């Protein structure tokens, strides 16, 4: 494989740091009493706040899954199995790894899992 492991490692470490920062921001607990959800007399105020929180939970779930893939890809670099699908064991195409260095499954397995 013609991919530079050191460059991949650096890219994955940067991605991990970015994801961790985004997760901290999304999951930070607010200490502002005015920001608590209240279901008062006005319809919609509490609902829009609840919807915002639900969206944040969904975003955090997506980021957590991506972070898990980034960490797995880093582990695969250490194990010298980077570039091989975790599910079927086939080689992951270089183009996929260049586009998504955190890919730990080939396209066939990734689409089957979705």
- The whole-number pLDDT of residue 93 equals 96
Q: Give the pLDDT means over successive 10-residue stretches in the chain (114 positions).
A: 88 96 85 56 66 84 95 97 96 96 95 80
- The whole-number pLDDT of residue 33 equals 56
- The whole-number pLDDT of residue 110 equals 93
- The whole-number pLDDT of residue 53 equals 79
In this predicted model, what pLDDT tens digit does every residue of 30-45 receive, in sequence order? 666 555 555 555 656 6
CATH of 5-20+47-113, one of 3.10.20.30, 3.40.1130.10, 1.20.120.910, 1.20.1740.10: 1.20.120.910
d(CA 50, CA 102): 32
- For residue 71, give both structure tokens: 């960490």
d(CA 4, CA 98): 10
Radius of gyration, CA atoms only, the chain: 19
């Amino acid at each position: 494989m013609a991919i530079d492991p050191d460059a991949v490692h650096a890219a994955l470490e940067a991605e991990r740091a970015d994801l961790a920062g985004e997760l901290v921001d999304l999951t930070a607990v607010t200490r502002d009493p005015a920001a608590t959800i209240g279901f008062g007399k006005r319809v919609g105020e509490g609902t829009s706040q609840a919807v915002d929180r639900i969206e944040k939970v969904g975003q955090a779930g997506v980021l957590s899954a991506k972070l898990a893939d980034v960490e797995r890809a880093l582990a695969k670099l250490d194990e010298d199995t980077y570039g091989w699908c975790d599910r079927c064991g086939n080689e992951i195409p270089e183009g996929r790894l260049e586009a998504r260095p955190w890919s730990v499954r080939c396209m066939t397995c990734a689409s089957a899992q979705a």
